[in-house]
Amino acid sequence: MTANYLLWMFLKPSQLILLTAMIILFGIVPTGAWLLAPLESRFETPNVSGDVAGVIVLAGSENVTLSSLHSEPQLTSMGDRITTFLRLAARFPQARLVHSGNVAEASIARSLILGTGVAPDRIRFDDQSRNTCGSARTTHALVEPQPTERWLLVTSALHMPRAVACFRAVGWEVIPYPTDFRRGPSPFHYGLIDNLQDLDLAAHEWLGLVYYRLRGFTNEVFPAPRPL
């Protein structure tokens, strides 16, 4: 007998019903996708033209464990953060560049980004930030942006509301440039693991928005877009 069969054998009927209902609710019905949708659609990908002073990318796409194991930069499923950042770096060749994260993330990002040909004197690596609001504070102190400068902020679409709230809390009105979208226009996806992962990610972000506001890290729970 398999472990799953034994589990079902020893469950009471009421427990079986509850377990089945939870699988249907969280694994088949796109509960996670519904919770992700307002996060990912809060800020649209902007049509940016003209002068851009700089581009910031938040860490999170670096796979620290695999990079260390294989001695080669490895990315997680959020690797779109880095690819979008590199594309914007090429599109705005005069823009200053910043990667913000912790020591391990910065080490991987440095190897990867400089390995693509980005000039070392063009980019700064913040390796002292442990959370999103820490990135906002440290990056602001690192580059000392002027009020008239336009800076793009790159991070995952679902994470963008919390990131924008953190940057606004330090008085920095960045231009959100979301990437790494989880789902398309249809929320229905009949993959149990994917749907449960969506739920986990969405719950993490919604709780993070509330927690940051309650702790006084931010001034708003769910920041709204502002004119460019």
Query: Residue 3 pLDDT more than 80?
Result: no
**69, 201 contact by CB (below 8 A):** no
pLDDT in tens, 176-214: 999 999 876 666 666 677 888 888 999 999 999 999 999
In the numeric block, which tokens belong to residue 30? 């796109």
| Mean pLDDT along residues 60-76 | 91
Query: Residue 102 pLDDT more than 80?
Result: yes
> What is the average pLDDT value for the chain, to the nearest integer?
90
In angstroms, rounded to a whole number, what is the distance separating the alpha carbons of residues 55 and 32? Answer: 30
| Mean pLDDT along residues 124-148 | 96
**51, 150 contact by CB (below 8 A):** yes
In angstroms, rounded to a whole number, what is the distance separating the alpha carbons of residues 111 and 223? Answer: 34
| Predicted local confidence at residue 32, as pLDDT | 84
Query: Residue 66 pLDDT more than 60?
Result: yes
CB atoms within 10 A of CB 184: 8
| Predicted local confidence at residue 1, as pLDDT | 46
Q: Which of 60, 73, 42 is nearest to 100 (CA)?
A: 60
In angstroms, rounded to a whole number, what is the distance separating the alpha carbons of residues 208 and 178? Answer: 18
- Comparing 158 with 7, which gets the higher pLDDT? 158
Instruction: Look at residue 42 and give its three-state secondary structure.
Output: coil
Query: pTM of the predicted model, to two decimals?
Result: 0.88
Report in angstroms the alpha-carbon separations of 224 from 65, 118, 150, 165. 36, 33, 18, 9
In angstroms, rounded to a whole number, what is the distance separating the alpha carbons of residues 166 and 155? Answer: 13
Residue 185: how many CA atoms within 13 Å on its side-chain side?
A: 0
Sorting pLDDT into bands at 50, 70 and 90, what band is 119?
very high
Query: Alpha-carbon Rg of the chain, whole angstroms?
Result: 20
**22, 15 contact by CB (below 8 A):** no
| Predicted local confidence at residue 197, as pLDDT | 87
pLDDT in tens, 31-41: 888 899 999 99
Query: Residue 167 pLDDT more than 80?
Result: yes
In angstroms, rounded to a whole number, what is the distance separating the alpha carbons of residues 160 and 58? Answer: 10
* Fold (CATH) for 38-214: Rossmann fold (3.40.50)
